[in-house]
Structure 1
Amino acid sequence: MTPNRLRIFGSRTLQASGALLIAGLMAGCGAQSAQNAQTGQVITAPEQNVQPAPPATSTAAKPDLQASEAPEAATGGRATPASSPARAQPNKVERCHTSMLTGSVQNSEAGAGQRYAELVLRNSSNETCTLYGYGGMQLVDGSGQAVPTKMERTPNPGPGLITLAPGESASATLHWTAVPHEGEPMDGPCQPTPARAQVIPPDETDALSVTWNVGPVCGFGTINGSAYHR
């Protein structure tokens, strides 16, 4: 054959080979598609870096943990005991109020112009109460008029808490002089003779009336008084 015939023949051969190749591929795809159709498979293109969707979060509010459900890590691995109920406190004993007391002057002593007596306060109530410290006192005459009185505290015995059950008593020791001081009458009573004493218990403002039958108080009514004691 001539070269031109060979060139034409080769070209036609290549075209025929290409057509056969394409027909074969199409036949193969058709067979594969038919096979997939019979098995129910669907071929899809591969996805590129598709991440799975995060799980849906419930919008319902989570119940709060009860004390018994709390993790042990919060208490170092030990269960926290429940708080103990408050213990009932014993009733506090209140101080002795004026209305709970009665008074008297007892055990008076006289010697060398000096006078001593015990001012006694008795718990006449049905409740226990306490006395602590010094009290006050004002002497008065039979008509209720004030008689010169100057109370001065002595340190012996000093203040101490005293608990008085119903019927019990405590006293303050009193000391004064029966000798007139300069400026007081020498030929008669140095001061008006008191009939009563208005006694104010420690930390109170109301007074109770006590009979005073131990004579006048010289030295312009100066009386040394101790704290209440047994």
Structure 2
Amino acid sequence: MIPHRFRSFVPRALQASGALLIAGLMAGCGAQNGQAITAPAHNVRPAPPAASPAEQLAPQPGTDGNTNTNAGNAGSTGSRATPTTAEARHQPSKVERCHTSMLAGSLQNSEAGAGQRYAQLVLQNTSKETCILYGYGGMQLVDGSGKPLPTTMERTPNPGPNLITLAPGRSASATLHWTAVPHEGEPTDGPCQPTPVSAQVIPPDETDALAVTWNLGPVCGFGAINNSAYHQ
């Protein structure tokens, strides 16, 4: 039993010992190697982990890496980047068809025999650009006053359509064939038909015509002319 004179001393001693014990524990646990104890910060998000070298080099969506941003669609692909100037320089340029304004026409190599007439309707590329011809053209015979004369163009399969590339100065031709023998219903005591002085020639796939001089006489058979596709 503690004497009465020591009763007030014991609690104060225990309190002092407890304070010293707590301070010693804190010094031993939180101040190792001379480090000060600091309270943990609140509401601070941890920094994201550093990307690996492979992730750093991987193309990102919306860049020239052409990454497909629609991850849910396995069949879709990213859009192709615009070709560089060097790539565009090596791509073949588009060659347009030969327009009427690029051509000049003439009738050449005419032949006659046994009432039959033949000629080559020639179209020459007079422009500075290469162009292409394909297929059959059209033609309308015209008299001296500019009046259209009976003309029926009938296509023949030999030679048939063939893609022709015309460099500047080059030409292609269509073979024409008609008769000088009057058909039933045509005059026999004079020209079977009015004599043309020119022909309005329409190149394949064009609507504008170019004038060609016609000095090959009348076209009997009511203006029927067999014509082949253009060829070289």
**TM norm. shorter chain > 0.5:** yes
Distance 1:123 1:154 in 2: 24
RMSD between superposed Cα atoms in Å: 3.5
Residue in 2 aligned with 1:36?
18
1:36 alignment partner, SS class: helix
1:129·1:163 contact (CA, 8 Å) conserved in 2? yes
For structure 1, the residue ranges without an aligned partner over 5 or more in a row are: 1-16, 44-52, 75-79
| 150 and 54 in structure 1: CA distance in 2 versus 1, 3 angstrom threshold | farther
1:101 deviates by: 0.8
| Aligned-partner residue type, residue 56 of structure 1 | N
Paired residues for 1:24-103 under 5 Å: 28-38=10-20, 41=23, 56-58=43-45, 70=56, 86=83, 87-88=87-88, 89-103=91-105
Deviating beyond 3 angstroms after TM superposition, the runs of 4 or more aligned structure 1 residues are 20-30, 37-43, 57-60, 68-74, 80-85
1:36·1:42 contact (CA, 8 Å) conserved in 2? no
| Aligned-partner residue type, residue 93 of structure 2 | N
Distance 1:168 1:71 in 2: 55
Residue in 2 aligned with 1:176?
178
| Aligned-partner residue type, residue 116 of structure 1 | Y
1:206 alignment partner, SS class: coil
- Cα distance per residue 1:182-206 (max 9 Å; x no partner): 1111111110011100001111111
2:59·2:66 contact (CA, 8 Å) conserved in 1? no
Q: In structure 2, which of residues 115, 118, 133 is the aligned counterpart of residue 116 of structure 1? A: 118
Residue in 2 aligned with 1:210?
212
| 59 and 153 in structure 1: CA distance in 2 versus 1, 3 angstrom threshold | farther
Residue in 2 aligned with 1:220?
222
Distance 1:219 1:141 in 2: 17
Identical counterparts, % of pairs: 65
| 204 and 22 in structure 1: CA distance in 2 versus 1, 3 angstrom threshold | farther
Residue in 2 aligned with 1:14?
none
Aligned residues: 193
Residue in 2 aligned with 1:195?
197
Paired residues for 1:156-175 under 5 Å: 156-175=158-177
> TM-score, normalising length from structure 2?
0.71
| 37 and 73 in structure 1: CA distance in 2 versus 1, 3 angstrom threshold | same
Residue in 2 aligned with 1:128?
130
* 2:231 counterpart of 1:229: yes
Distance 2:201 2:162 in 1: 19
| Aligned-partner residue type, residue 215 of structure 2 | N
- Cα distance per residue 1:156-182 (max 9 Å; x no partner): 111111111111110000111111111
| 214 and 84 in structure 1: CA distance in 2 versus 1, 3 angstrom threshold | same
Q: Point out the more displaced range, 23-32 or 119-128.
A: 23-32
| Aligned-partner residue type, residue 210 of structure 1 | V
Larger radius of gyration: 1
